[in-house]
Structure 1
């Protein structure tokens, strides 16, 4: 009798769940796969990160660019439709990131990437001056110095064997972000087995797994799995490094008897280490930021300022390895700028003369955007570009597949830097740094760092193909399961 009751109850739960999901599907005109009771479409997305991008592409093709999917009872609309993406990103109201970002809050808290509402607006406003172009000019010598350290590390590896450039570049990028916007030198490139870089990779992998896999997402399940111990260990390393950076800069300010930002606080023109100094010294609504708020923002920029730039650089090096003609055009441009003195640092104005390198970076970021996917939460019923989006929907915006769309780019999988030269193209067809009110605050910082680093590499090495394509996966950033391998030959 008990078994019969249990069986009937189970059938009732499954039926109610299925009816609820089918009723919910009527709220939007965006088609998608028929959800199963309880799990929704979760079985389609419970795959590893390398398969995940392929699943998204398959759904987008099958359902015309956008697809409604369910993770358990939660409604998601996946889209690579450029008109819909433009409508969402340009909205001044649809700024919340969505439920999935909760999985990175143990790491980043409510920093600029994850925060919403008044806190996000306040912090975005007072942190924006830290990336003023006058401030960025102060970072150029730092990027050049660390680029030369990277050059020597690569020179020692230029022996005809394949090199996985991602972890090597990651240490240079970490040195750049800590020494420039944080004002503290950690000499990461001296540590070839950086715990910090490895901890970032662990947290990225775990967070992205929970975002796409509804079976391990709930805390009640996740806390029972080995992943929880891995996450706790990684968080201890990450937060310890962040506090070390904060305390070091705080001590420097104390020793220099600097207690406020001074007359240039608003635009930070004389404040060389504006970002961390703003956090430590500025007031928001008449109050200093708490230590926890400072930690959250520093964690956010330690991650975004090194991991995304690392990906951008590493994939660009990979693209160059397959195109000797592009490398030589960059090299010729460098010779025109530097003459016979490749040892000297470029000036800020000379970076702007690297026009062809600009095109190369843009094309590389089109094929391999550092952040392949982002989320947005729809907080009211809206209609955008003919798509009916109900309140409570989480949008999954697929930059990766959109930027490889044959309707937007001729021969989209081919690496053609010239496609960005003198062409009046819709800016929303290229979203490597997102767009709209929540675009990447550090875009100019990243592009400047990429230019300096790539210039140093191309001036000193020929980059040859190893013949192994990256196995791409969406783990917060675009990672490759088998590394990003090239062969270097000293010029």
Structure 2
């Protein structure tokens, strides 16, 4: 008994010592945190327990409930991590423009399965990758891609013909296949028929798995993860994705040999495989996954959300059709380029309003590398800055009492442009935003030259999931008719 009591006393003393040491080493963080408005939550856990057990459809509401209206920032705790949340545009712009807020918190982005890709990368490594890939999206390069994007949009329109006058269906996987094929043809020198491909639903689930690991940090432990229900789904998804990536890389390596390198024109795949950029095999794999999944998931879900909104708002849909008909007329062959797309002013409003209500990245996070002053508050080093673009872009303070409604005309006279961030992370962080806009606008023009759409879903009944990419849990259900 004496031995047991001595051991217990030693363990408790050691634990108390390390707790005191831990808190003492973070005394400056606690000192500054106490001066910030917010909620400490449950001792030791903060609000971690609420997020860990939240259902998919409730996660968004829980997070947003901690972002207050009476202050530009709100303090919360995720276990030992200090989080400062905001929906204020002045705070977001300050964060995105600060060199002290360039890092990405590992508690969030370290949970992803492509840690060597642009999305989770931080600091100088991210800056290096970003500068390299910017070469693939210059105005000159984009001008060369219009024809390819138009061709893939036309293919998708034809693939949809069997759905005419049929029951409602989830249009997302058609749009996803179109987006991924467009990116493959435009930037990977590669084309594969992806309509109905089993990779699509698994790729769709990929971000959900990453979000699950963020919600439940213990899933980042390899042993626990390997014994979880989502492990097998994750493994099979990775097999499918890696097969696709291997096909692309092998095809391009062979193409380089056959053409003696004459095919290289700063496409994404050219930049990845260029020896002078010295990408590791893991970086090549992870960047391929990032570009494939973002072109498939981010662009496709934004575009699918736009179609669903137009199906719900018949008057807006008809106004878009009228604009398309007035510009395109009865011409069967049209030349798509930047000047041509700029003529579609109402289409531009529709895309912007869709991105406002359904931003691909509803919440983004950065970590402070040093103390920083923001809006009169001193934010400690190693603070996680959580910015809800979703909440900001639906806030009546910036968008009026009808902020929750779908009204493209509001962009004819935008009163608070600072409250609109169509690219997560600010312009400095944006890769491929203009490319995505070309894909979306080109598809919508080709689609509505052929079809009209409807849906039985109601706007007020939509349930959203705050995953890494905003997802409508009701799915993107529409019915189509020939015009």
Match of 2:232 among 226, 229, 233: 229
Equivalents in 2 of 1:162, 1:10: separation in Å?
62
| Residue 480 of structure 2: aligned partner | 488
Q: TM-score by structure 1 length?
A: 0.88
Which residue number in structure 1 is paired with residue 329 of structure 2?
Answer: 339
User: What is the root-mean-square deviation of aligned Cα atoms in Å?
Assistant: 2.8
- Report if aligned partners of 1:17, 1:38 keep a CA contact under 8 Å in 2: no
- Match 1:135 to one of 115, 124, 141: 141
Counterpart in the other structure of 2:32? 27
Q: In structure 2, what is the equivalent of residue 70 of structure 1?
A: 77
* 2:393 corresponds to 1:403: yes
The CA deviation string for residues 221-272 of structure 1, in whole angstroms up to 9 with x for no partner, is 33432323332222222222112111112211211111795xxxxxxxxx2x
Deviations 1:193-248, CA, capped at 9 Å, x for gaps: x2322222222111111212345444453343232333222222222211211111
8 Å Cα contact 2:100-2:368 kept in structure 1: no
Cα deviation, residue 85, structure 1 = 0.8
Question: How far 1:115 moved relative to its partner?
Answer: 1.9
CA distance in 1: counterparts of 2:228 and 2:482, whole angstroms:
47
SS state at 1:320 partner:
helix
Other-structure match for 2:96: 89
In the alignment, structure 1 residue 212 sits paired with structure 2 residue 215: yes
**Counterpart position of 1:39:** 45
SS at match of 1:315: helix
Which of residues 69, 90, 111 in structure 2 aligns to 1:103? 111
1:5 positional shift: 8.7
Aligned to 2:416: 425
The 3 A distance-change label for structure 1 pair 11 and 208 is farther
Unpaired runs of 5+ residues, structure 2, are none
Match in the other structure for 2:364 = 374
2:119 equivalent among 113, 118, 143: 113
Instruction: Tell me what 1:124 maps to.
Output: 130
Q: Is the 8 A contact 1:433 1:440 kept in 2?
A: yes
Could you tell me which residue of structure 2 aligns to residue 268 of structure 1? none
Q: What is the aligned counterpart of 2:274 among 269, 281, 302?
A: 281
Q: How does 1:305-324 map to 2 (within 5 A)?
A: 305-324=295-314
> What is the alpha-carbon distance in structure 1 between the residues aligned to residue 405 and residue 279 of structure 2?
48
Q: Distance in 1 between matches of 2:16 and 2:80?
A: 12
User: 1:402 and 1:314 mapped to 2: Cα distance?
Assistant: 22
| Distance 1:36-1:422 versus aligned 2 partners, 3 A rule | closer
Mapped pair 1:255 → 2:258: yes
Structure 2 counterpart of 1:59, from 61, 66, 71: 66
Aligned length: 472
Change (3 A) 1:259 1:466: same
User: Is this contact kept in 2: 1:166–1:311, CA < 8 A?
Assistant: yes
Which digits, 9 at most, give the CA deviation of each residue in 1:68-108, with x for residues without a partner?
2222212222221211111001223421111111111x3x2
2:22 is aligned with 1:50? no
* C-alpha contact (below 8 Å) 1:39/1:214 kept by paired residues: no
| Pick aligned residue for 1:304 from 288, 294, 297 | 294
Q: 1:293 deviation in Å?
A: 2.5
Alpha-carbon displacement from aligned partner over 1:142-171 (angstroms, at most 9, x marks no partner): 211111121122221122411211122111
- In the other structure, the counterpart of 2:194 is 188
TM-score by length of 2: 0.90
Residue in structure 1 matched with residue 243 of structure 2 by the alignment:
240
Instruction: Return closer, same or farther for 1:302/1:8 CA change in 2, 3 Å cut-off.
Output: same
Counterpart-to-counterpart distance in 2, 1:207 and 1:438: 25
TM-superposed deviation, 1:6: 6.5
Would the aligned equivalents of 2:145 and 2:186 in 1 still touch at CA under 8 Å? yes
Q: Which of 443, 455, 470 pairs up with 1:478?
A: 470
Question: How many angstroms does 1:41 deviate by?
Answer: 1.6
Q: Is the 8 A contact 2:100 2:372 kept in 1?
A: no
Partner of 2:341: 351
